[in-house]
Structure formats: structure tokens, C-alpha cells
Amino acid sequence: MAKLKMIKKMIQSIRDIWLIVGISVFLFALLEGACSFTFLVMDHVTASNTRMFDSRAQADDYRKIPWSEDYFKEFNESSALRWEPYVYWRRKPYNSKYIKVNTDGFRVTPNSEISSENAQPSLRLFMFGGSTMWGTGARDALTIPALLATELRSRGIKVEVVNFGETGYVSTQEVITLLLQLQKGNIPNLVVFYDGGNDTYSAYQQGIAGLPQNEYNRAKEFNLTKRLPEIKRIVVKDTINNLATVRFTKALLRRIGMRKTEQKDEPDYDKGRIVEEAVNLYLNNLELVKSLAVSYKFKYIFYWQPTIFGKNKLSDYEKAEYAREQHLEKFFKETHNILREKTTHPRYEKTFYDLSAIFSHVEEPVYIDWIHLSERGNATIAQAMVEQILYLIPSANGGLPD
């Protein structure tokens, strides 16, 4: 009898435990569902706002322009990337009102293509750079390459301009892009490189000069399919961290001050050495292009681009953008100081131009963030480039000087 009572008690205990577990699971599922729904709505709103609104649409030159929000919506849509051998990425084709990317992944440059098959350009101009050359913040006709093409054509020069610029590219990726074009027999008369920002930022970001941006992601992803135990740990960790209840708890703890907001650590490396190496690698790329120019008989010009750190008079909007990236200023200025010292050598005459101070005393706003320019800013850069390019063109009747 006692044994029977004990069995009944054990069964009752098991039922109670299962009941508690069941209720707990049900409540957790209910809480997880509620939190998931909340985050789903928030993520949807955030994604919609990201698609429909970019803070740069509020830049001085764009704030009251009716097309600016539509432009930045297109910009977001056109940012999809595809794998590109040797250089990692290139944009997918895109065709809309303000932004067009051709099937090769290159930004379309209006007013720069030769319409007749028999009409050969007197100048084939290849332009390389990062997002500033690609034209972030500018419509197709008002990127630096497009403005340059328009100006040269207005002076009677039959020019074909190809914009090889791509977001995030450092100068090494651009040199490789040029090399791939030369391998195909696609030979220009003149190549223009417009760099500085990405090379410097990549060195700052990674503590190693000369790498593409976010190179650590490539190392992390390499041979990932062969590392199953590691993949399982990553999946489990990500699954837990992505639980809505976990996300909610972390947010709540941060809110009440019990969990610090994650901050990026200040880079811990010998900055003086990295700055020196970054400049040397950039100038070595210039030397590589010089060697290619001799072999393939084209001319070349390198430009060092401006940033907001070189503008003395800032609008309220520009001041906010400057403050957002002020932590970069010292590293950028140290890099520029070394570059300026090295490029005083006569060997860089008429092949390297420093545009970093071009907006130093300009009162009008030209920046839409710390490095990208408005269309008005692009026009200033293009106009500066025209003067050096015209030096290489003796007349509009064709040919570059030997």
C-alpha cells in the first residue's frame, strides 16, 4: 500500500513538473512571439525608412530638392553587389531614373559614348576611384566622370569616358581593374585615379596598409564549409543571440544602465608605422601604373581627394558630419602630411595632384557626409581635373603627346 502511494506521488510529481515545464514553455513561446512581432514591426519600419530615406538627403544642397529622396532610394536599391574575380565585388546591373549601372557593373557616364561605329574618340579616358568617383550623392550626368566628359566635349574634344569607380575600392583594387582591362586589349589614352579616403581608412580600420576594406570578413569566410564544428557553434550562438527575448533583455539592460552599449575599440597598433606604409603602398601603386603606361603607351594622373577635415568653414550640417567622424581626423592628417612630404619630389610633377585643400576656404556647403560631395562639389573637382588633362592634349584634333 505504501509502495502504491509512493508511485502515485511520483506520478503526481512528474505531472506537476511537466505542467510547470509546459506552462513555462508556453509562456516563453508567447513572450518570444510578442517580442518577435514587435521587432518584426520595428525592423520593417527601419528597413522602409532606410529604403525611403537617407540622412544625406538632408544635406545642405539636397534638403529642399524634390528628387533627393527618390535618388537615395535608387542609391540604396543599386547597391546590390556581385562577386568579381580579383577585386571581390562589383555592382549588379541597375537601370532607373537617376542611376544606371551597365551589364559590366560600371556606372553609366552620359555624354561620353561614341554613337557612330566609325567615329573614333580622340581621347579614351578611364577613371578609377571609390564611391566618390562612382558618384555617391550624384545623378548619372553629374558624377565627376560625367561632368569631365561634358566639359571636354564642350571644348571640342571627342572623348569616351569609362567610370571604373566602385564603392569601397582601394587603389590596389583599381590597379588590378586597370590590369584586367589591359589584358583584354582595352587600352586607354589616359587613366585618372582619384583616391586617398579608402586607402587611409582601410589602414586605420585594420592596422595593416594596403588591404581592401573589411578584409577580416574574407578571412573569416574562407573555407567555412569545411569547418563544420565551428559553423555549428556560430549557428547556435547566432540563434540564441537572435532570440527576440534575448534582444529585448539586452536592450532593457542597456536602457537601465546595467549593460554598456557596445563601442568600437580604438585601434591598437603603431599608427606612425601604418601611416608610413599606407603612403608608400599608394605611391608604389602609382609606380606600377607608370610602368604600365610606358608599356601600353598611355598617360596617367593621380589625384588625392579632399575630406571634410580639410574644410575650414562648415555649415551646421557639415559640422554634424564632421563630429560624427572626428576620430579619423588625426590619422588622416598624419597620412596626408607624409604624402605631401614625399610627393614634393620632381618625379611626381604633372602626374600627382593634391586636391585635399580645394575646399579649405570655400564658404558654401559641399559635403553630404565626411567624404562624399554634392553635385556642386563634384563640379569643382571635375573643373580642377580639366586643367591638368588639357595640358596633356595639345589640341582637339586628336592624340596625346609622346
pLDDT of res. 401? 46
The SS3 assignment for 81 reads strand
Which residue numbers in the chain have pLDDT < 70?
1-5, 8, 27-28, 31-33, 35-53, 113-119, 224-228, 230-232, 234-238, 240-268, 394-402
Q: How far is CA 292 from CA 143, 176, 189, 300, 329, in A?
A: 27, 11, 12, 10, 34
Please give the DSSP secondary-structure letter assigned to residue 242: T
Domain ranges in the chain are 2-52, 82-211+266-392, 217-255
Rounded CA-CA distance 313/390 in Å is 31
The SS3 assignment for 212 reads coil
Q: What are phi and psi of 127, to 5 degrees?
A: -120, 130
Which of left, alpha, beta for 166 (phi over 0: left; psi -120 to 50: alpha)?
A: beta
Q: Are 204 and 269 in contact (CB under 8 A)?
A: no
Q: Into which CATH architecture does domain 82-211+266-392 fall?
A: 3-Layer(aba) Sandwich (3.40)
pLDDT of res. 266? 56
Q: Are 70 and 89 in contact (CB under 8 A)?
A: no
189: cell is: 589614352
Specify the length of the chain in residues. 402
Name beta bridge partners: 107. 101, 163
Longest dimension (CA), the chain: 115
pLDDT of res. 48? 47
Torsion of CA 343, 346, 348, 349, to 10 degrees: 120
pLDDT of res. 21? 72
pLDDT of res. 50? 45
Rounded CA-CA distance 165/106 in Å is 7
Q: Of 364, 373, 377, 381, nearest to 315 (Cα)?
A: 364
Q: Of 134, 143, 137, nearest to 174 (Cα)?
A: 134
Contacts of residue 362, Cβ cutoff 8 Å, sequence gap at least 6: 311, 313, 380
Q: pLDDT tens, 282-323?
A: 999 999 999 999 999 999 999 999 999 999 999 999 999 999
Instruction: Enter the pTM of the model.
Output: 0.81
